[in-house]
Amino acid sequence: MANSSTKLIILFFTTIITFSISPTSNAPDLDLRLRTDPDAIRSASSDYGNLVKRSPHAVLYPSSENDVVELVRLSNECPTPFGIAARGHGHSVRGQAAAHGGVVVDMASLGRNGSRIRVSWDEALGYYADVGGEQLWIDVLRAGLEHGLAPVSWTDYLYLTVGGTLSNAGISGQSSFYGPQISNVLQLDVITGNGYLVSCSEGMNSELFLAVLGGLGQFGIITRARIVLHKAPTRAKWVRLIYDDFSMFTSDQEHLAMNGNGPNYLEGSIITDKSPPNNWRSTSFYSPSHQTKIQFLLKANGGILYSLELVKYYTATNTNIHKEVELMIKDLRFVPGFSFKKDVPLLDFLNRVGSLEGDDKEEEAHPWLNLFLPKSQIMDFHAAVILNLIHTQNQTSGPILFYPLNRQKWDDRTSAVVPEDEDIFYTLGLLHSTKRSESHVFENLNKQILEVCQRKGIRIKQYLPHYEYKEDWVQHYGSKWTTFQERKAKYDPRMILSPGQRIFTPVM
């Protein structure tokens, strides 16, 4: 006897076959691009986090946007629609790009027939690149540099897709000065949840444009993004300064973040025994002797230090750059003798993490926690979370990022969520790496952090959010929830898209 799941598959594929041979179909070969074999299903069932497995019934390898449009329409026409998730590079950590029992769209397939990156100039817009949503940022960078151009806002890691990061926000050390990646997009092509391919921008279908930016894939699948480009500098002066005092570290960060003539990039991190100065984010910044020196200071300071990281870009014609950087750090209050500098080509700096592709070992898990927190509460957070939980438990295994962001560079009308009411907020990234069998230890630490914040009234927002219950999503969106819901009803009324985010779709 067929169980309900088998019946669903039969209904689902009967529908697909029926519709795909229909003479009205624009993509009569859709069924040929759908795969249900174990390799296809396995590749779409887990992600970088390696914490959850959620298997789709099929994976679509689209040869064009039409295939995706057709798939979304098919789902809409089913009595019970099936979930559809665009999978960019699968670098989510908690199944956000999964479609349990539905169809995952392998976005990379859209780029298989040649590059979908076109660099242009327009009198009104300046330089920009039209880029397929499936493209990796590393390829956008390389294509721009061929013309002496580059985007201004980045992520630390460049092997992420344009559609994937624009669905979140896309942050890195440039965001304080240029805004997140979602603040540097001029136009999008989007396949909405009701199956329409729509171009949108600030001036055209603006509600869809704003909904999709930071929209966690809930309103449409981005098939093209028009990204702002600027003239690219050629080199980067890259500096790390070590602090033994949290309050000096953060006030120096804030001073630099709000300084228009300061660096082009500003980040920071927390150094502990389990989160050493050199890590996968830039393996070779410190020489072995520098590392030994920092380790001594770490011991002397009770096992915790803070590292401020800044970069000033320049071109070879700027002979003054050395002085500019010295001036910038002259009054900062790092530990004397603990400033470290490098001078590298722009590409080497932006691509400092390189590719981690060989590293996603089957047994390795990444129970990451990324938070935004209001500036006014960072001292409380430091005492309750950084010192009392992270440092004392000493369980962290991986980089701990901590740096400020400037809220004025974020457009409040997009779907992205940041702490309200304060001009500066901080981001914490706990980028744990562990064996799968030990991931519960870090999950437990993450849970404790969230509980402590709630108990102490620290108004955090999760970045790359993950919640179990609808009430938590409602709280996460706060004053944006009503708009978020209304936009969902308008652009994806049958709740088909990105079910792995589990905002509107029950947990399965």
Side-chain half-sphere exposure of 429, counting CA atoms within 13 A = 20
Residue 91 annotated as catalytic:
yes
Nearest distance, CB of residue 461 and ligand FAD, angstroms? 14
Among 62, 88, 101, 214, binds ligand FAD (CB under 6 A): 88
When asked if residue 221 is in the footprint of ligand FAD (CB under 6 A), the reply is yes
Residues 6+ apart with CB under 8 A from 378: 250, 426
The side-by-side arrangement of strands in the sheet containing 84-87 is 34-35, 58-60, 103-106, 84-87
Q: Specify the length of the chain in residues.
A: 508
- Which two structure tokens, joined as six digits, stand for 402? 């901590």
Q: Where are the beta strands (DSSP E) in 164-213?
A: 185-192, 197-201
The interface mask with ligand FAD, positions 146-185, x = CB under 6 A, is ---------xxx--xx-xxx-xxxxxx-------------
How far are the Cα atoms of 126, 299, 351, 353 from residue 149, in angstroms, in the given order? 11, 44, 16, 21
Q: Where are the beta strands (DSSP E) in 38-176?
A: 58-60, 84-87, 103-106, 117-122, 126-132, 149-150
Residue 156 annotated as catalytic:
yes
When asked if residue 464 is in the footprint of ligand FAD (CB under 6 A), the reply is yes
When asked if residue 396 is in the footprint of ligand FAD (CB under 6 A), the reply is no
- Among residues 163, 146, 137, 429, which one has the least CA distance to residue 270? 429
Please pick, among 57, 89, 91, 382, the residue that the annotation labels catalytic: 91
- Which two structure tokens, joined as six digits, stand for 237? 């002066």
Q: CB nearer to ligand FAD: give 102 or 144.
A: 102
Among 34, 60, 69, 85, binds ligand FAD (CB under 6 A): 85
303-362 residues in contact with ligand FAD (CB under 6 A) are: 356
Token pair 């989007």 in the structure block, residue: 190
Q: Each residue of 92-112: b (16+ CB within 10 Å) or e?
A: bbbbbbbbbbbbbbbbbbbbe
Nearest distance, CB of residue 163 and ligand FAD, angstroms? 2
Burial class (CB in 10 A: 0-12, 13-18, 19+), 245: middle
Q: CB nearer to ligand FAD: give 48 or 473.
A: 48
Spatial separation of the C-alpha atoms in residues 500 and 508, rounded to whole Å: 9
The DSSP result for 405-433, as a single string, is: EEGGGS-TTSS----SS-SEEEEEEE---
Nearest distance, CB of residue 205 and ligand FAD, angstroms? 16
189-218 residues in contact with ligand FAD (CB under 6 A) are: 216-217
Q: CB nearer to ligand FAD: give 10 or 356.
A: 356
Among 89, 224, 312, 476, binds ligand FAD (CB under 6 A): 89
Q: CB nearer to ligand FAD: give 159 or 338.
A: 159
Spatial separation of the C-alpha atoms in residues 168 and 153, rounded to whole Å: 14
Among 20, 92, 174, 434, binds ligand FAD (CB under 6 A): 92
Spatial separation of the C-alpha atoms in residues 176 and 179, rounded to whole Å: 6
Nearest distance, CB of residue 216 and ligand FAD, angstroms? 6
Please pick, among 267, 382, 432, 476, the residue that the annotation labels catalytic: 267
The DSSP result for 247-269, as a single string, is: HHHHHHHHHHHT-TTS-SEEEEE
The interface mask with ligand FAD, positions 38-67, x = CB under 6 A, is ---------xx-------------------
245-274 residues in contact with ligand FAD (CB under 6 A) are: none
Nearest distance, CB of residue 157 and ligand FAD, angstroms? 3
Please pick, among 67, 156, 244, 252, the residue that the annotation labels catalytic: 156
Nearest distance, CB of residue 445 and ligand FAD, angstroms? 19
Q: CB nearer to ligand FAD: give 86 or 329.
A: 86
- Active-site positions read 91, 156, 267
Return residues touching ligand FAD (CB under 6 A). 47-48, 85-92, 96-97, 107, 133, 155-157, 160-161, 163-165, 167-172, 216-217, 221-222, 356, 464, 498, 500-501
